[in-house]
Structure 1
Amino acid sequence: MGPVSAPPPPTSPAGRTGPGHTHWLRVAREAADDLATDTVAREQAGKPPFDEVSRLREAGLLTLLAPAGSQGGGADWPTAYAVVREVAAADGAIGQLLGCHYFLSWSARFFAVPALAARTEELSAAGGWCWGGGFARQEPPLTLARTSRGLVLGGRQSYTTGVLVADRLAVRAVREDTGEPLAVVVDPTRHGVRADADIDTFGQRLAAGGSVKFDGVPVTDDDVLGPLPADEDFPSPRAALASPAGHLVSVQLLLGLAEGVLAETREYGGTGRAPWHLPWSAGTPHDPEVLTAYGELTVLTRSASALADQAVEAVQGALALGEDLTYDAYAGVSALVAMAEAAASRAARESTTRALDIIGPRSASARLGLDRFWRDARTHTLYEPVSQRLREVGDYFLNGAHPPFVLPS
């Protein structure tokens, strides 16, 4: 097996003639600066992030990926990834919420026929929808049954990102008669949908997570985006890109958390707020141990970032190939994203833990809120364990095995 290589450079997708990467990165930084002014207070209050979603909507970030011709931002995935990372550095939970929104709002392009995908995306952009939900397998599954009244959705999804604030939910359901898994879009205001804020995690408190119950919810044919792969099936390479594209959102979230905590701890020590009095005393910014620790964390985070940049280029190139993408090329992209996620996971866990050690006991102050970075990173890595990513990379490297199609949690 040769080294993983990226597909050819992407071409500009039709209909995407928005302001460009530089504009949206500036908008994201402004939004992140706005969120940073009260992140600690909002995170500790833990209220559903209606105001935060409004801020993102007003900035145009919710419609970032939709074509400019359908009232969208006309941006591409590399731009969306950069935006998620920028926001996550200021507020990890809102970064997760936004990343989940981007993946789910794009999901019609992976699983629906082109006409339905375009119609869904146009409605989403026009309404400024915020998307929540998820396609990961769960037991028992949601069921989609055909009755005399038409299709109805039933069951309970135990954890759904964004459920408390979403304008649309994208979920995985199984046809009751055939067992075929399907991607389904649901308006949460429909009769029979009930969301509960019953997920009491110690991190990602502002990601609007909760459970959602569907009790005979009516579903139209246009609400069914298309089939998801069953256990024994593998989708086309084009549809299979949903897996690495989704996991690359996780990479950007983790890198944002790592970069965010390092920036805050550096600022805390550099503004005189830390009680550093004597030069070269333990814990000062001239302490060799402190310098070594920051050096190690910087190298770890920058290395993960470089790998993530390669993965972003590979995913964008694969998306540009469309139906010309081969299974072998898809496998290389998927393995590269798995490497990036493993590296980003380590960078986030190490940085969010050791940065607190550098500050010392003062980092336990609730007023500083530095613990939120650790809690957000640890909660995310529990839902997206890195051990599976490492096994996929090892199997690909040793045996040339194609990584499995696994949608992010």
Structure 2
Amino acid sequence: MTTRDQVLDAARDDVIDAARGEVLDAARGVANHLGLDALERDRANAEPFTEAELLRKAGLPAVLLPTSVGGAGLPWSVALDVVKEIARTDGSIAQLLAYHYVNAHNLVWVADDAGRQRWGVPTAEQQWLWGDSVNPVDPDLQLRPDPDVTGGWILSGTKNFSTGASVGDVTVVGGLTDDGRDLLVVVPRETPGFVKGGDWDNLGQRLSASGSVRFEDVRIAPDAVLGSASTSGAFGSLVTLAIQAAFGHFYLGVTRGALETAAEYTRSTSRPWLLSDVQNAVEDPYVLATYGRLVARLRAAEALGRSVGESLSQAHERGADLTWAERGEVAEEIAALKVVSSDLAVEATSTIYEVTGARASSNKYGFDRFWRNVRTHTLHDPVQYKAREVGNHFLTGAHPEFTLYT
């Protein structure tokens, strides 16, 4: 006999599935639009204001925010799929959106109810994008008490990398107080003293708005202090797992985009090798086998990605009841995704030249952007440490220790 709870759960699942379909359709539309001039925009290396507006108009920034502030309240698995879909055609904008999802979700993991309403309502209503300035390998920014405002702070210092800060409506900033507390604060884009360097000029991810920022005695109001992830328990620590899961899905999306783009070239343009004894490149057994191995590995990695999305969503639903042991199991699974997706992305985006041919190296095609993007981003943190975490868990049962990278 069906219970009332089972009926409610089934109805909720139906609603989520319908919303998931709508959101992924919107993401697919954005991805297809971005794919029309991805190479030209990559070469222009401009701040992605137009692309950010495209995300807003599609309603993608608010899909994770809770319904209590006007968001869609969808699970993390949906947001990760959105990141993967956008990455298929534009890795930079996928990174911008992925970082937004994680940074804005500090409203759930870290902030109290007042902070959640103060910043969550306008984020949902206006589809704000959130930038990131919490890079732990940079010198920590300093927060000192504001002598004129009780509970206020004055923020000073520089971050060398700050994804989305230049185009985001607000930026989450991590700073240290004199007594050693690590606080997350919110800084709107046009705040006096918030200086954007505009100096991101790297090999790949050229439109990710990841340049430096400087804070010149920026005043932080009391209601702009969210709290601290390090004191928010296992639930608050999901911030680092979410960003690593987003990275894995980003790599999966770029890999699929590279293979799809290469496949179209192989069908339409590649010539069969003179020793192949075939009339078309798509009949070459070595071309077929190369694509086959890469696609098979991608399908396996995507299956792991789906499992990661469900595991992260379930951990998030646990809320304050989430234990460190439960968190640790999710961390290990995400580490495994990071290993396989990183390795596959770097290999596949290079190997596509072997199945497209020498003419495909012409700059007019720009196939190198896929490799440049994953090669740049996979250096964010050493994947070997993720492999070590997986191996340690397999051999000893140990869980990855919570840090700002795990």
- Given the two structures, how large is their TM-score scaled by the length of structure 1? 0.90
Task: Give secondary structure in 1 for the equivalent of 2:59.
Answer: coil
Which among 328, 331, 342 is matched to residue 325 of structure 2?
328
**Paired position in structure 1 for 2:79:** 80
Q: What is the identity percentage for the equivalent residue pairs of Structure 1 and Structure 2?
A: 34
The CA deviation at 1:20 is 0.7
Contiguous gaps of at least 5 residues in structure 1: 1-9
The CA deviation at 1:239 is 1.1
The answer to whether the 8 Å contact 2:61/2:127 transfers is: yes
- Do residues 24 (structure 1) and 26 (structure 2) align? no
Distance in 1, Cα, partners of 2:105 & 2:121: 11
The answer to whether the 8 Å contact 2:83/2:95 transfers is: yes
**Paired position in structure 1 for 2:269:** 273
Distance in 2, Cα, partners of 1:124 & 1:363: 43
**1:313 partner letter:** E
The answer to whether the 8 Å contact 2:229/2:236 transfers is: no
Q: Which moved more, 1:236-245 or 1:216-225?
A: 236-245
Q: Which runs of structure 2 are paired with 1:62-101 in the superposition (5 Å)?
A: 62-68=61-67, 70-101=69-100
**Paired position in structure 2 for 1:293:** 290
Residues 240-283 of structure 1, C-alpha deviations (whole Å, 9 max, x = no match): 2112112111011000011000000011111x223449774598
**Paired position in structure 1 for 2:173:** 171
Distance in 2, Cα, partners of 1:353 & 1:18: 36
**Paired position in structure 1 for 2:402:** 405
What is the RMSD of the two structures over their aligned residues, measured on CA atoms?
Answer: 2.3
The CA deviation at 1:29 is 0.7
Distance in 2, Cα, partners of 1:39 & 1:261: 12
Task: Give secondary structure in 2 for the equivalent of 1:159.
Answer: coil
- In structure 2, the CA distance between the partners of 1:283 and 1:141, relative to structure 1 (3 Å rule), is farther
Task: Give secondary structure in 2 for the equivalent of 1:24.
Answer: helix
Distance in 1, Cα, partners of 2:208 & 2:30: 16
- Do residues 385 (structure 1) and 377 (structure 2) align? no
Task: Give secondary structure in 1 for the equivalent of 2:105.
Answer: helix
**1:291 partner letter:** L
Distance in 2, Cα, partners of 1:184 & 1:313: 30
Task: Give secondary structure in 1 for the equivalent of 2:223.
Answer: helix
**Paired position in structure 1 for 2:53:** 54
**1:24 partner letter:** V
Distance in 2, Cα, partners of 1:87 & 1:397: 33
Q: Which moved more, 1:387-396 or 1:254-263?
A: 387-396
Q: Which moved more, 1:111-120 or 1:274-283?
A: 274-283
The CA deviation at 1:346 is 1.2
Task: Give secondary structure in 2 for the equivalent of 1:406.
Answer: coil
Residues 155-200 of structure 1, C-alpha deviations (whole Å, 9 max, x = no match): 001101112211111121001x201111111112111110012122
- Do residues 156 (structure 1) and 158 (structure 2) align? yes
**Paired position in structure 2 for 1:6:** none
Residues 277-311 of structure 1, C-alpha deviations (whole Å, 9 max, x = no match): 97745982221211111111112111111111111
- In structure 2, the CA distance between the partners of 1:250 and 1:282, relative to structure 1 (3 Å rule), is farther
The answer to whether the 8 Å contact 2:266/2:355 transfers is: no
- Do residues 120 (structure 1) and 119 (structure 2) align? yes
**2:187 partner letter:** V
- In structure 2, the CA distance between the partners of 1:293 and 1:180, relative to structure 1 (3 Å rule), is same
The CA deviation at 1:66 is 2.2
Which among 308, 322, 333 is matched to residue 311 of structure 1?
308
The CA deviation at 1:70 is 3.6
The answer to whether the 8 Å contact 1:184/1:225 transfers is: yes
Distance in 2, Cα, partners of 1:283 & 1:354: 19
Distance in 2, Cα, partners of 1:65 & 1:214: 29
Residues 18-46 of structure 1, C-alpha deviations (whole Å, 9 max, x = no match): 96101111111111111111111111111
- Do residues 208 (structure 1) and 205 (structure 2) align? no
- In structure 2, the CA distance between the partners of 1:388 and 1:283, relative to structure 1 (3 Å rule), is farther
Distance in 2, Cα, partners of 1:349 & 1:11: 40
The answer to whether the 8 Å contact 2:107/2:226 transfers is: yes
Distance in 1, Cα, partners of 2:234 & 2:279: 54
The CA deviation at 1:120 is 1.9
The CA deviation at 1:98 is 0.8
- Given the two structures, how large is their TM-score scaled by the length of structure 2? 0.91
Distance in 2, Cα, partners of 1:315 & 1:12: 21
The CA deviation at 1:117 is 2.2
The answer to whether the 8 Å contact 1:246/1:407 transfers is: no
Contiguous gaps of at least 5 residues in structure 2: 1-8
**2:29 partner letter:** E
Query: Across the two proteins, how many residue pairs are aligned to each other?
Result: 393
Distance in 1, Cα, partners of 2:88 & 2:277: 30
**Paired position in structure 2 for 1:189:** 190
The answer to whether the 8 Å contact 2:133/2:159 transfers is: no
- In structure 2, the CA distance between the partners of 1:275 and 1:216, relative to structure 1 (3 Å rule), is same
- Do residues 106 (structure 1) and 105 (structure 2) align? yes
**2:269 partner letter:** R
Distance in 2, Cα, partners of 1:311 & 1:326: 17
Distance in 2, Cα, partners of 1:188 & 1:280: 61
Q: Which runs of structure 2 are paired with 1:215-294 in the superposition (5 Å)?
A: 215-229=216-230, 235-270=232-267, 272-276=268-272, 280-281=277-278, 284-294=281-291
- In structure 2, the CA distance between the partners of 1:101 and 1:139, relative to structure 1 (3 Å rule), is closer
Task: Give secondary structure in 2 for the equivalent of 1:201.
Answer: coil
The CA deviation at 1:17 is 7.4
The answer to whether the 8 Å contact 2:133/2:165 transfers is: no
The answer to whether the 8 Å contact 2:109/2:232 transfers is: no
Residues 97-134 of structure 1, C-alpha deviations (whole Å, 9 max, x = no match): 11111111111211122332243211211232111114
Task: Give secondary structure in 1 for the equivalent of 2:202.
Answer: coil
Which structure is richer in relative contact order (CA contacts within 8 A, separation 6 or more)?
A: 1
Distance in 2, Cα, partners of 1:355 & 1:66: 38
Distance in 1, Cα, partners of 2:284 & 2:262: 15
The answer to whether the 8 Å contact 2:30/2:58 transfers is: yes
The answer to whether the 8 Å contact 2:88/2:254 transfers is: yes
**2:270 partner letter:** A
**1:390 partner letter:** A
